[in-house]
Amino acid sequence: MSIIPRRLALKLILSLTVIVALVEGISGYINVKTQERQLLDVIILGADQLSKAITSATWHAMLADDRNGAYEVMHTIALKQGIDRIRIFNRAGHVMFSTKQEPKIQAEKTSETCSMCHSALEPKVKIDAPSRSNIFMDPGDGGRRKLGMVTPIYNEAACSNADCHAHPARVKVLGVLDLAMDLETVDQEIRTAHLRTILVVGIQILLIGLFTIFFTRHFVDSPIRKLIAGTKEVSLTQLDTPIDIHGSEELEELAASFNAMRKRLNQSIAEINQFAQSLESKVQERTEQLKVAQRKLVQSDRLASLGQLSASMAHEINNPLSGVLNLSKLMQRIIREDGIPPERLPEFRRYLSQVVDETSRVGRIVTDLLTFSRRPKPQRTPVDLNGIIQSTLSIVSHKLKLANVELSLHLSPNLPRVHCDASQMQQVVINLMMNAAEATVKCAQGVVTVSTSTGPDHSVLLEVSDNGEGIPTQNLPKIFDPFFTTKEEGKGVGLGLAVVYGIVDSHGGDIEVKSTVGAGTLFTVTLPAAAEAPEREHTHDQTGTKA
């Protein structure tokens, strides 16, 4: 997760605060270093003046060769606050006098005291005060900082011409005065300056940060929040509230552009709503016209269907009635006043049997028509589809035996119950099985297979297949149409599959057919399962049963 904030106001506040902190920190650091340098310069200048004052105060005593008097003066000066020690070195580097008790040593040219003048091959005679100063740490005094000031004692004319201890005029420097001053007070002032600078910088950063937060929230964050709220209202199609922003020319211009866009969008939505209302009224008007046209079309379709039904029924009934009429005329010719001649009695009986068959055919046609047109509303209850198939076998088994058709059952155990009308579903099974049996008439050994299984989405599948002659591809779309049949004249009126389709459709199911000419046909009925859990049942598998 990124630690960098993503909000613009927070980024601006953080950026400005970091910039202010850097600028104030660098400025404070430079200020502290400048004060420290100035303070040290003042101390160095004071030390230089004090060194020169010491040399001036002891000049007369040294000129008179009164060393004790000169030493007393230096002892008195060394007691003043801030002065750590005073030492005098001769030209050879020996300590001639020190206000502190320390062993008599000879300073090397590389020592802190001598290196300032003897850093080059030729010793320096004239050197400025900053170059004669040195800040060092005194290990013998707890590591406190000290300022060392070395002041050369020059060989003046009065010294070189004196009778007491004359020095040759060629000697420029007689020795040096080494003054060490304690910088504890100065360091305390520097620490105080550091703390004061840190405090001032911290207060400045805090105040500038607070002002930055205030003005950023007032001039940036608040207007942006108003813009965000406005965009959310636009996304919710609330276009009546304008965005009011003041204080920033750019944001005011952005708000004005947004308000103009909102107004145009509001106008566009109004135009769209008006167009939608106009379109809706036109759709309603056209819908009413379509309904009127549909009613007329349905009426025309009903009339056409009625005409087709009447023509089909007239054709189907006319054929057997014509046969009955012809057979009646033949029987009328056979009958004489004294009765039926004995030699023609078998012929008369044959004609009479044909009359019975044709009359039965008319009755079957009328029964199928009534079944198709007056199918009652299904009385649905959870039933066992396997049980319906088993009970159907008792009805059609003798017909299958007469047709020499073998029945193969594959009934799935634990089949969910089906929410259907048992009598109508039995009619579906009968029609499909008899259709399959009739399709195998031309086969040497006809086989009808009936199977059940559980389908997807808690559905139940009923499959009825045969090894008959199959259905041509051009006839498959028409097999569920009323009065469509491929059977021979007098074998059916084409209402069986239409009845099956109507029953399955009224139960919310589906029926599909797959057929290959010369190989057979498969009908698949899909029915929705009942809501309650299925009951356990015994397996009804009678594969290979001879019917």
Percent of the chain past pLDDT 90, that is, above it, reads: 5
Q: Residue 461: its pLDDT value, please? A: 92
Q: Based on the number of CB atoms within 10 Å of its own CB, is 281 exposed (0-12), middle (13-18) or buried (19 or more)?
A: exposed
Q: Residue 265: its pLDDT value, please? A: 81
Confidence of residue 450 (pLDDT cuts 50, 70, 90): very high
Percent of the chain past pLDDT 70, that is, above it, reads: 78
Confidence of residue 492 (pLDDT cuts 50, 70, 90): low
- The domain defined by 8-190 folds into Beta-Lactamase (3.30.450)
509, 489 contact by CB (below 8 A): no
Q: Residue 453: its pLDDT value, please? A: 92
Of 30-44, 87-101, 153-167, 533-547, least confident by mean pLDDT is 533-547
Q: Residue 537: its pLDDT value, please? A: 41
61, 69 contact by CB (below 8 A): yes
Direct distance between the N- and C-terminal alpha carbons of the chain, in angstroms, rounded to an integer: 77
- Each residue's pLDDT tens digit, 18-59: 888 888 889 888 988 888 888 888 888 888 888 888 877 777
Q: How far apart are CA 327 and CA 151, in angstroms?
A: 166
What backbone torsions phi and psi does residue 179 show, to the nearest 5 degrees?
-110, 125
Q: Residue 547: its pLDDT value, please? A: 35
- The answer to whether residue 136 scores a pLDDT higher than 90 is no
Mean pLDDT computed over 83-94: 80
Mean pLDDT computed over 234-263: 75
Confidence of residue 183 (pLDDT cuts 50, 70, 90): confident
Count the Cβ atoms, other than its own, within 10 Å of residue 207.
11
Confidence of residue 535 (pLDDT cuts 50, 70, 90): very low
Ramachandran quadrant class, 457 (left: phi over 0; alpha: psi -120 to 50; beta: rest): left
- The answer to whether residue 169 scores a pLDDT higher than 80 is no
- Each residue's pLDDT tens digit, 342-399: 888 888 888 888 888 778 777 766 776 666 665 566 678 888 999 999 888 877 888 8
Superfamily per CATH, domain 379-528: Histidine kinase-like ATPase, C-terminal domain (3.30.565.10)
Mean pLDDT computed over 152-179: 67
Q: Residue 296: its pLDDT value, please? A: 77
Q: How far apart are CA 469 and CA 488, in angstroms?
A: 14
Which of the following CATH numbers is that of domain 243-374: 1.10.150.80, 3.40.50.720, 3.30.420.40, 1.10.287.130?
1.10.287.130
For the chain, domain boundaries: 8-190, 243-374, 379-528
- The answer to whether residue 280 scores a pLDDT higher than 80 is yes
> Between 95 and 514, whose confidence is greater?
514
> Between 196 and 131, whose confidence is greater?
196
Of 200-204, 348-352, 358-362, 524-528, least confident by mean pLDDT is 358-362
User: What are the b/e assignments for 431-448, b being 16+ CB within 10 Å?
Assistant: bbbbbbbbbbeeeeebbb
CA distances for 3 relative to 10, 17, 35, 257, angstroms: 12, 16, 39, 34
Count the Cβ atoms, other than its own, within 10 Å of residue 511.
19
- The answer to whether residue 490 scores a pLDDT higher than 60 is no
Mean pLDDT computed over 269-280: 86
Q: Residue 255: its pLDDT value, please? A: 78
Mean pLDDT computed over 500-509: 87
Confidence of residue 1 (pLDDT cuts 50, 70, 90): very low
- Confirm whether 8-190 and 379-528 share one CATH topology: no
- The answer to whether residue 523 scores a pLDDT higher than 90 is yes
Q: How far apart are CA 43 and CA 240, in angstroms?
A: 76
Whose CA is closest to 433, among 465, 394, 457? 465
> Between 450 and 403, whose confidence is greater?
450
Mean pLDDT computed over 417-440: 87
Q: Residue 544: its pLDDT value, please? A: 37
What is the average pLDDT score of the chain? Answer: 78
